[in-house]
Amino acid sequence: MSIISGKVIMVVLDGLRYDTARTQMGYMNHMVEAGKAACCRVWSELPSLSRPLYEVLLTGTPSSVNGITSNQTVRLSTQTSVFHLAREQGLRTAAAAYYWVSELYNRAPFDPIEDREQHDESRAIQHGKFYYDDSYPDSHLFADAELLRRRENPDFLYIHPMGIDDAGHRYGADSKEYRGKAIMADALLANLAPGWLELGYRVIVTSDHGMNADGQHGGTGVEEREVPLYIMGTAGVKPGYYEERVPQLAVAPLACRLLGLQPSAAMAALRFPGVAYDEESEGDA
């Protein structure tokens, strides 16, 4: 197996553009400059919409294969996600995320009362706290996630705040409000990530899609498709900035490799330049 396996925290900052991450997120970029993180450009799949790209990030399959083609496609995923693979191998899974993630991997449609908090070892996401208001504060969401981490000790924790995306839709990507939410997310990571890293977690920070100046996404523009991916952790990470664009389909198999899991047969054999693979994996990762 390539890469030393361990626990992984995956943070998806909804709606975060690559250029905004590079110019506004001081802590994350400090970690790169300090030789403690890698930063890659990721080219999102189409359509550059949230629900389809949640499925891309967690199953490594495009919309033409998985059938999640719009935000209005409300049903369980038919693909094997990172959550499924982890649970099948006896790992613990958890998520603090927007309710569409629950609808994809636990139960659809979402019941705001019954499904707000979930604890069921038989489900793909065994422990979850899900919100359904786009303006739910990122500070609360990160607190939800950290409580899950402390109480449930997951091997794979998925964290998905909506503040950046919400500000982008309200004010556009070229606004102080949008940039301010990116700065706030960076500060929340600065408070929590050092503790995660000290405990030996590998941390992936990325986004589903970007945002244009009109406060929209869904199309083919660079501002809608180019998003960051930061990788932090002592094992298997090659620090630095990597300018080549990596297909978003590579994110799910990366999470699998970091967890010590074999990617599903549907996941593409792609790899990130900021990750060290051993000789065994040179031909298949």
What's the confidence (pLDDT) of residue 274? Answer: 87
User: pLDDT for 129-180, tens place per residue?
Assistant: 999 999 999 999 999 999 999 999 999 999 999 999 999 999 999 999 999 9
Query: Residue 101 — φ and ψ, nearest 5°?
Result: -65, -40
Which tops the pLDDT comparison, 279 or 63? 63
What's the confidence (pLDDT) of residue 278? Answer: 63
Task: Report which DSSP code applies to 33.
Answer: H
User: pLDDT for 216-229, tens place per residue?
Assistant: 999 999 999 999 99
What's the confidence (pLDDT) of residue 276? Answer: 85
> 8-276: which CATH architecture?
3-Layer(aba) Sandwich (3.40)
Kindly tell me if the per-residue pLDDT of 193 is higher than 80.
yes
User: pLDDT for 226-276, tens place per residue?
Assistant: 999 999 997 778 999 999 999 999 999 999 999 999 999 999 999 899 898
**Burial group, residue 239, by CB count within 10 angstroms (0-12, 13-18, 19+):** middle
For residue 101, how many other CB atoms are within 10 A of its CB? 26
What's the confidence (pLDDT) of residue 277? Answer: 77
What percent of the chain is predicted at pLDDT more than 70? 95
Kindly tell me if the per-residue pLDDT of 4 is higher than 70.
no
Task: Report which DSSP code applies to 175.
Answer: S
Kindly tell me if the per-residue pLDDT of 284 is higher than 60.
no
User: pLDDT for 15-64, tens place per residue?
Assistant: 999 999 999 999 999 999 999 999 999 999 999 999 999 999 999 999 99
What's the confidence (pLDDT) of residue 279? Answer: 42
Alpha-carbon dihedral of residues 247, 248, 253, 256, nearest 10 degrees?
150
Is residue 247 reached through a cis peptide bond, with omega within 30 degrees of 0 on the bond before it? no
For residue 65, how many other CB atoms are within 10 A of its CB? 14
Mean per-residue pLDDT, 88-116: 98
Which tops the pLDDT comparison, 94 or 2? 94
Mean per-residue pLDDT, 185-213: 97
Mean per-residue pLDDT, 185-193: 98
Q: Residue 107 in contact with residue 115, Cβ under 8 Å?
A: yes
Q: Residue 52 in contact with residue 69, Cβ under 8 Å?
A: yes
State the pLDDT confidence band at 72, using cuts at 50, 70 and 90: very high
Kindly tell me if the per-residue pLDDT of 283 is higher than 90.
no
State the pLDDT confidence band at 285, using cuts at 50, 70 and 90: very low
Q: Where are the beta strands (DSSP E) in 137-250?
A: 156-159, 202-206, 226-232, 240-247
